[in-house]
Chain A
Amino acid sequence: MSKIKKAFENGKAFIPFITCGDPNLDITEELVYAMEEAGADLIELGIPFSDPTAEGSVIQAASLRALNGGVTTDKIFEMIKRIRKNSGIPLAIMTYANVVFSYNTEKFIKTMGEMGVDALILPDVPFEEKEEFSLVCEKYDVDFISLIAPTSNERVEKVAREAKGFVYCVSSLGVTGTRTDISNDIGSSVEMIRNKSNLPCAIGFGISTPEQAKKMASLSDGVIVGSAIVKLCGEYGEECVPIVKDFVMEMKEAIRTV
Chain B
Amino acid sequence: MKIKICGLYREEDIEYVNIAMPDFIGFIIDFPKSHRSITPQLAKKLKSKLNPKIKTVGVFVNAPYEYIAQICKENIIDMVQLHGSEDDEYIKMLKEITDKEIIKAFVVKDDFDPKQAEHSLADYILLDGGMGSGKSFSYEKIKDIRRPFFLAGGLSPENIEESTSLIKPFSIDMSSGVETDKVKDFKKIISAVKQVHRRENNMKKGRFGVHGGQYIPETLMNAVLELEAAYEYYKNDDGFQKELTELLNEYAGRPSRLYFAKKMTKDLGGAKIYLKREDLNHTGAHKINNVLGQVLLAKKMGKTRVIAETGAGQHGVATATAAALFGMECEIFMGKEDTERQALNVYKMRLLGSKVHEVTSGTATLKDAVSETMREWTKRIHDTHYVLGSVMGPHPFPIIVRDFQAVISKEIKEQCLEKEGRLPDAVIACVGGGSNAIGAFYNFIEDEDVRLIGCEAAGRGIDTFETAATISTGSLGIFHGMKSYFCQDEYGQIAPVYSISAGLDYPGVGPEHAYLNDIKRAEYVPVTDEESVIAFEYLSKMEGIIPAIESAHALSYAMKLAPTLSKDKIIVVNLSGRGDKDCAAIARYRGEDIDE
B26 to chain A, nearest CB (A): 35
Instruction: Tell me if B479 is interfacial: C-beta within 8 Å of chain A.
Output: yes
B41 to chain A, nearest CB (A): 46
Q: Are B222 and A151 in contact (CB under 8 A)?
A: yes
B222: chain A residues at CB < 8 Å are 151-153, 155
B217: chain A residues at CB < 8 Å are 53-54, 123-124, 126, 147, 149, 170
Instruction: For chain B, residues 351 to 391, give those with C-beta under 8 angstroms from any C-beta of chain A.
Output: 361-362, 367-368, 371, 374-375, 378-381
Instruction: Tell me if A175 is interfacial: C-beta within 8 Å of chain B.
Output: yes
Q: Are B494 and A51 in contact (CB under 8 A)?
A: yes
For chain A, the count of residues having a C-beta within 8 Å of the partner chain is: 41
Q: Are A51 and B375 in contact (CB under 8 A)?
A: no
Instruction: Tell me if B525 is interfacial: C-beta within 8 Å of chain A.
Output: no
Q: Are A128 and B214 in contact (CB under 8 A)?
A: yes
Instruction: Tell me if B187 is interfacial: C-beta within 8 Å of chain A.
Output: no
Q: Are A149 and B493 in contact (CB under 8 A)?
A: no
B38 to chain A, nearest CB (A): 44
The docked-state distance in angstroms from the alpha carbon of A74 to that of B475 is: 20
A237: chain B residues at CB < 8 Å are none
A54: chain B residues at CB < 8 Å are 217, 375, 378
For chain B, the count of residues having a C-beta within 8 Å of the partner chain is: 37
B493: chain A residues at CB < 8 Å are 49-50, 67, 99
Instruction: Tell me if B480 is interfacial: C-beta within 8 Å of chain A.
Output: yes
A126: chain B residues at CB < 8 Å are 214-218, 221
The docked-state distance in angstroms from the alpha carbon of A198 to that of B317 is: 51
The docked-state distance in angstroms from the alpha carbon of A54 to that of B371 is: 9
**A53-B375, A73-B491, A98-B479 known; A173-B218 Cβ under 8 A:** no
Residue of A nearest to B213 (CB): A129
- Choose from A73, A74, A103, A151 the contact partner of B221 (Cβ within 8 Å): A151
Q: Are A173 and B219 in contact (CB under 8 A)?
A: yes
Contact indicator per residue, chain B 454-487, by CB within 8 Å of chain A (1) or not (0): 0000000000000000000001111111000010
Instruction: Tell me if A127 is interfacial: C-beta within 8 Å of chain B.
Output: yes
The docked-state distance in angstroms from the alpha carbon of A129 to that of B220 is: 14
Q: Are B218 and A170 in contact (CB under 8 A)?
A: yes
Instruction: Tell me if A102 is interfacial: C-beta within 8 Å of chain B.
Output: yes
The docked-state distance in angstroms from the alpha carbon of A67 to that of B495 is: 12
B218: chain A residues at CB < 8 Å are 123, 126-127, 147-149, 151-152, 155, 159, 170
Q: Are A174 and B477 in contact (CB under 8 A)?
A: no
Q: Are A127 and B221 in contact (CB under 8 A)?
A: yes
**A98-B488, A103-B492, A152-B221 known; A125-B215 Cβ under 8 A:** yes
Instruction: Tell me if B205 is interfacial: C-beta within 8 Å of chain A.
Output: yes
B219: chain A residues at CB < 8 Å are 149-151, 170, 173-174
**A49-B493, A67-B493, A128-B214 known; A175-B375 Cβ under 8 A:** yes
The docked-state distance in angstroms from the alpha carbon of A123 to that of B219 is: 10
Q: List 6 A-B contacts (CB under 8 A).
A: A51-B480, A98-B478, A99-B493, A101-B478, A127-B218, A151-B223
Interfacial residues, chain B to chain A (CB-CB below 8 A): 205, 213-223, 361-362, 367-368, 371, 374-375, 378-381, 475-481, 486, 488, 490-494
Interfacial residues, chain A to chain B (CB-CB below 8 A): 49-51, 53-54, 56-57, 60, 64, 67, 72-74, 96-103, 123-129, 147-153, 155, 159, 170, 173-175
